[in-house]
Structure 1
Amino acid sequence: MLEYFDDETENGKLYINYPMVESVFYTKQLPDKDYLSYDVTREKCHNFKALARDFSFYNSFEHLLISGNKNEKEEKKLLKQQTAKENWLHLTDMNVRKANFICVSVDAIPALKENLAQSNIYENQLAKYVNTESCRVSVLNSFPIFLYDYFRDIVSLC
């Protein structure tokens, strides 16, 4: 599937969350300096939704939402918007750096976004984490990587 869905203009592009979409929650307060080290065993992946909820500093997606209540005062709405934007910038920076670390063992934003091809991430997850004696998966969310792919300049704001 990764070989077929590898180009947004042809067949579409597939993005994979490791181990699942709840990986967006698997963080302490943003920015999380320890994010690079987070991984889970295959056994814990079966209950990852609860594990991510319990691990997270945040109780909901509220820290990532920009919309405000229509009854909220304007300054509170603006503060929520700024916080959500900053949190997405932190998540993007953390996940792009981690994806690069998974692929080339360097904790940095890659020079070329092609270095973070989903097939590269997948193959390196298998080689460095899954198909090892410890059988782990490095926690990684693809939403921020999608943002990096399409809005690369936002990462430089972090």
Structure 2
Amino acid sequence: MSNKILFVFEGEKTEKQITDNLQKYFVSENSIIHCAYCADVYQLYEQINEDEDLDTFQLLKERGQNEKVLSEYKRSDFAEIYLFFDYDGHATSADDDKIERILSFFNEETSVGKMYISYPMVEALKHCSDEIDFRKLKVEAKKNISYKQLVNSEAHKTLKQITKYTKEIWIQLIDLHVGKMNYIFRNNFSIPSEMIFQNAIFQKQVEKYIKIDSTVAVLSAFPIFLFDYYGSKYISNLLSDSKIP
């Protein structure tokens, strides 16, 4: 069985910076190959809608930007596929029913792939500072709020350059985002004892934020992926060890 993992990104730059840095400290035992879809989650939905027997790997391989990186591989070379996309609720084709179907389709990393959504987009990872109550942090979901610029103005200076993240920074971000995931789902800002599925997170985003005031709770997909990948016990121990003086 191959130990290679395929990471599929919506874009080609920021997401790759995140995983290149993340791999210095996590998931380093596996060989991770990166590729990009270079379109939003709603366009991916349209392709699924046209073909319910969609072969994820073949779809990616046929996209021009992946021709070189995936040319020497076949689907059996990858034990797992993970897709990282933005919620992008202000996109022209945005539709919450589409997100629900996407998450129902991409729900198994060993077959079609498992989807992780960042709310509102990938820059959510660094939308943290001493002045922000991250537990309560939410932003407009259905308007273009120039989120990248907003994060750049509000994020702590140590978080602005992803390529310089240390393991200690990652541990802090895991603590914040995994706690926020549990807060969204259970109103409890703490590390949960079990995995919370992506479609369940989305349903709570709709119920508690989107339908109430057209916002989303800021949440990054990457710390959530690490929590799912390693499990609650490992992450809890990692966070506990980091707090020992």
Corresponding residue number in structure 2 for 1:146? 225
Q: Please point out which of 93, 98, 106 is paired with 2:188.
A: 106
Structure 1 counterpart SS, 2:139: strand
User: Per-residue deviation at 1:8?
Assistant: 1.0
Determine what percentage of the aligned residue pairs are the same residue: 34
Q: Please point out which of 107, 114, 117 is paired with 1:6.
A: 107
Amino acid at match of 1:156: N
Could you list the runs of 5+ residues in structure 2 that have no partner in the other structure? 1-101, 240-245
Corresponding residue number in structure 1 for 2:216? 137
Amino acid at match of 1:13: K
User: Per-residue deviation at 1:91?
Assistant: 0.7
Aligned residue pair count: 134
Q: Deviations over 1:63-116 (max 9, x none)?
A: 42xxxxxxxxxxxxxxxxxxx101111111111111111111112211111xx1
Amino acid at match of 2:148: K
User: Per-residue deviation at 1:121?
Assistant: 0.6
Distance 2:143 2:121 in 1: 12
Distance 1:33 1:20 in 2: 18
Q: Deviations over 1:102-149 (max 9, x none)?
A: 111112211111xx11001101001100111x2211000010011111
Change (3 A) 1:137 1:45: farther
User: Per-residue deviation at 1:155?
Assistant: 3.9
Corresponding residue number in structure 1 for 2:24? none
Structure with the bigger percentage of helix? 1
Match runs of 1:63-74 below 5 Å? 63-64=164-165
Corresponding residue number in structure 2 for 1:121? 201
Distance 1:43 1:102 in 2: 19
Corresponding residue number in structure 2 for 1:39? 138
Distance 1:12 1:42 in 2: 26
Change (3 A) 1:20 1:33: closer
Corresponding residue number in structure 2 for 1:79? none
User: Per-residue deviation at 1:33?
Assistant: 7.7
Taking only aligned residues, the RMSD between alpha carbons, in angstroms, comes to 1.8
Which shows bigger deviation, 44-53 or 5-14?
Answer: 44-53
Distance 1:86 1:154 in 2: 13
Structure 1 counterpart SS, 2:104: coil
Greater C-alpha Rg: 2
Change (3 A) 1:45 1:125: farther
TM-score, normalization by structure 2: 0.51
Higher relative contact order (CA 8 A, sep 6+): 1
Residue 48 in 1 paired to residue 147 in 2?
Answer: yes
Corresponding residue number in structure 2 for 1:26? 127
Amino acid at match of 1:26: H
In 2, are the aligned partners of 1:93 and 1:109 still within 8 Å (CA)? yes
User: Per-residue deviation at 1:18?
Assistant: 0.2
In 2, are the aligned partners of 1:2 and 1:119 still within 8 Å (CA)? yes
Corresponding residue number in structure 2 for 1:16? 117
Structure 2 counterpart SS, 1:146: helix
Amino acid at match of 2:237: S
In 2, are the aligned partners of 1:92 and 1:155 still within 8 Å (CA)? no
Amino acid at match of 2:193: A
Could you list the runs of 5+ residues in structure 1 that have no partner in the other structure? 65-83
